[in-house]
Amino acid sequence: MNIEQLRDYCLSKSGVEESFPFDADTLVFKVRGKIFCLTNLSNDVFSFSVKCNPEYAIELREQYLAVQPGYHLNKKHWNTILVDGTLFDSMLHRFVDDSYDLVSKK
């Protein structure tokens, strides 16, 4: 997965908007006005952050090196995913799906 694929995947979901509310380098995806995914366009290593159930967030971090506590986010509820080739795209899509579902239900 690359940034364009992440963007296309996020925008394919119902009611999603994209914006740059923080700075010109941070692309944010929102549903119902709430962030469910964000990525920094200027990082050397492509990564994105997604919201996650707190217990599941810890489980994922313990299982995969590419899943880290949310960078500059509430580490209880957010994971940053390093797209380094160690995780299948289907898993990356699942992380986005879970975040979207979690945020859109509130």
Dump pLDDT digits (tens) for 38-95.
Answer: 999 988 889 999 999 999 999 999 999 999 999 888 889 999 999 999 999 999 999 9
CA dihedral 19, 38, 23, 1 (to 10 degrees): -90
Task: Look at the pTM and tell me if it is higher than 0.85.
Answer: yes
- pLDDT value at position 72? 84
- pLDDT value at position 43? 85
Q: Please give the tally of structural domains in the chain.
A: 1
For residue 84, give the CATH number of its domain.
Answer: 3.90.1150.30
Domain extent at residue 78: 3-104
Residue 97 one-letter amino acid: D
In the three-class reduction of DSSP (H, G, I as helix; E, B as strand; rest coil), residue 105 is classed as coil
Residue 102 in contact with residue 53, Cβ under 8 Å? yes
**Per-residue pLDDT tens over the stretch 13-46:** 999 999 999 989 999 999 999 999 999 998 888 9
